[in-house]
Structure 1
Amino acid sequence: MYLYGMTYGNEKYIAVGGSSSISYICYSTDGVNWTTKQVSCRYLYGATYGNGKYIVVGDGRYIAYSTDGINRTSKTVGSSSWQSTVYGNDKYVMVGNNGYIVYSTDGINWATKIFSSNSELWESVAYSNGKYIAVGYNGYIASSANAVN
C-alpha cells in the first residue's frame, strides 16, 4: 500500500493512498493504531482538514468530504486529477494537472481557476501567512492571497 498524503484535525489523523485499481483511507486517533478503509477509485493523493470537514482528493477528478473522517460523500469535480489540497483563510483549495486550481468555501461546491496557460501539473499546495502557494513540474510556482487571482 502506497500512502501519498495526510492531514490532522479534530483529534484524528487521516492518511490517503492507493494504486491503479483501489485506494485507501487510513485513520487513527493516536498515530499508532490505524484502521484502513478501501475506496473504489484510483490513487488518492491529498487530504486536508478545516472548518469541521476532512477533504480527500485524487485521480479521475475524485474528491470526498466528511465531518468525521470515516463516513464520506464522494463526487467528481472539474476536469483534472487532483494532486493536493489545503485549507486556509476559510477556503479549501485543490490543485491538479492542466493548470487547474479549484476552491470552495464549504468543501462541497467548487469554482475553477486556471492559473497556468502552460498546462502545468500542480503537485502541491500550502497556505501560510495569508498566501496560497502552489508548486509543480518544471519548477513552476504560483502564489495568491485569495486562490482566485
Structure 2
Amino acid sequence: PFQAAVNGVAATWADFAAASGIARYDVALASTAGGIAGDGDILPFGAVRGATQTSMFIQHALQDRASVYVGVRATSRAGTSTVAWSGRILVDAKPPEGGAVYDMNENGSWDDDVEYFGNATRITASWDDFRPGKSGISDFLVGLGTFSG
C-alpha cells in the first residue's frame, strides 16, 4: 500500500493469542521486511501506550519515497513473545506533476482554451502529460466553473 503522510504510520493489528493472555504490545518501524536483526532500524521496538490496544499512530518523521514496515511484538502474561511484520508501505508525499487540459471548439479540434461554447448541454475536454508519483494516479476529478483556477 501507499500513503502520503510523512509524519508517521497508522497501524492496526489482530490475531495474537496466548493462553495466559496478552500483557503488552510493542511496535517498531523498519526499512526492510522483518527489520534489522529482528528490530526496527528506523524506530526500535517500544511499548504501545495503553499496553493492549490494537491500533495506534506511530509518530515518526518519514522521507518521501521511503519504504517502511511496521513490526508488532506481542508479549504474553507468561513472558513469551512473538513478532509479526507488515508488508511494505511506500511513502508517496508528492502529487502528480505537470498536466494540461484542453477543451474542444465548435469545429471539433482541440484548443488550449475555448472562449465560447455554442452547445449549452455538452462540453468536451481532454487532458494529458500528468506525471504520476511513485504510487501512480488513481483517478482524475473534473470540475466546471466560470473562472480558471
State the TM-score bracket (shorter-chain normalisation): under 0.3
Which of the pair has the greater relative contact order for Cα pairs under 8 Å at 6+ separation? 2
Higher Rg of the two aligned structures: 2
User: What TM-score do you get using the length of structure 2 for normalisation?
Assistant: 0.22
